Amino acid sequence: MLDQQQGRRIFETVRKHSSGDDVEVLIAGGDHALTRFANNTIHQNVAEENYVVSIRAVFGQKTARATTNKLDDEGLQRAVKAAESLARVQQPNTDLLPMATPAEVPGTPPAPSRHFDATAAITPEDRAEAVGRMVQSAKAQRLTAAGIYSTSNTVEMLLNSRGISRFHQQTSAEISITMLAADSSGWQKANSPDHRDLNPELLAETAARKARDSAHPREIAAGKYTVVLEPAAVLDLLGFLFWDWGGLAILDQRSFLTNRVGTKLFGENISIVDDVYHPLQSGPAFDGEGVARQRVQLVDRGAVSRLVYSRASAAMMQKSEHAQKVGPIAATGHGFPLPNEIGEMPTNIVVQPPAGKARSIDQMIASTERGILVTRLWYIREVDPYEKILTGMTRDGTLYIEDGKLQYGVRNFRFNQGMVQLLQSVEEMSEAVRASGEESFDMVVPAMKVRDFNFTEVTKF
């Protein structure tokens, strides 16, 4: 595993070969391993160790980046020259700021430990043994299991010629399992820096139960239903919102929050924070320029509170016509590595249910006269970027609720649903949990009971 001392040596080698005004080095990589199974059999096990060094050169207001995974002197020198050659032919960027300095960017507050020796030490045999337990659950119920169990031990480092030095090390374990029956399926997924947070048997049994409960699905008419969205479904919908919380998105007039910051856009029970320091979150506590990530209240009791900024977008916003309409303006540590055209976004989302009002999924079902339980969604696409209308399909455990009980599986639906309207229609929420989906990044979100969810079409499965 590449350590901080080795990272500094790489930076000094890059600096030795650099002729630009400034140079920045991002180092990322580590050990990645994956065990894949299908038809109740492991069919693939792969592992690699790889590191990528990304070098940004600056000449005045020109900048460019080049990347290599060859870490010897020759490989680094070639990458430096490539970055500098590209930078020299760029048009000057009048909005480009000098690289950050330690005086401008205070030290990163301590984040919860996200490196666990026990996770880093997991072997192929350990993963195979866990997969074996999940497969045994499938066989016992005459189901077919497929999925993955992956682990990683990674580092991220950022160093620049003005004195910034950042380091983050993290482990990760992830399990995804689908249980297949003749005409139904069930799915579960979980991810954590600590593999002890994952429960393979529980994931397998839950996926199996969903496959059993949704067997022989019936067709019911499309229309507007009360839905109970499990956390994976919630995060895959919410994930389409957060690019719009960046300052550059407002400046470019491509955000659905244009002229809406400070307004009460969602229900009173909706509060959302971006908080890398939350104990259920993951990732480094610094952004692509080494700026410390701040905890930012994005939505407060339905009102859009503020945006997130990189250093450059904050400086541009302060000089723009929008400056008096967007709340506090300051770099919040949410920028991506430069150069980029996308600006910034919050990536450590925590949805905060009202205190003392959390309800379990079972309680939400029990309080529903007629509705649909949605395990997960897939193939989600944006239809209307300003109202955030999304389309997609249900999958792997869609069940009809009547008189407070799950009754039977139903054929899956296509939906067309506006996210603004959805977040105005949340009736109940569970406690927030770390959740994983397939369409977005991991978040800390609750399950939600939502009225008038718009199903537009019934599928054939």
Structure tokens at 269: 């029970």
Give the domain range for residue 20: 4-206
Structure tokens at 347: 């990536």
pLDDT value of position 22: 98
Of 400, 377, 417, 394, nearest to 219 by C-alpha is 400
Task: Indicate the number of domains in the chain.
Answer: 2
pLDDT value of position 119: 98
pLDDT value of position 110: 78
Within a domain: residue 376? yes
Of 328, 280, 293, 289, nearest to 312 by C-alpha is 289
> For the chain, which ranges sit under pLDDT 70?
107-108
**CA 243 to chain centroid:** 11
Within a domain: residue 136? yes
Within a domain: residue 369? yes
pLDDT value of position 109: 72
Contacts of residue 267, defined as CB under 8 A and 6 or more positions apart, other chains included, come to 302, 423, 424, 425, 426
Structure tokens at 351: 């949805």
The CATH number of whichever domain residue 49 belongs to comes to 3.30.2290.10
Whether 151 and 33 share a structural domain: yes
Of 192, 177, 155, nearest to 442 by C-alpha is 192
pLDDT value of position 205: 98
pLDDT value of position 252: 95
pLDDT value of position 460: 85
DSSP 374: E
Angle ∠(90,92,97) on CA atoms, nearest 5: 115
Contact (CB, 8 A) for 207 and 415: no
Whether 80 and 229 share a structural domain: no
Bridge partners, residue 400, by sequence: 372, 408
pLDDT value of position 427: 98
Q: What spatial distance separates the first Cα and last Cα of the chain, rounded to whole Å?
A: 46
Whether 96 and 196 share a structural domain: yes
Domain end call among 206, 223, 258 = 206
Whether 201 and 221 share a structural domain: no
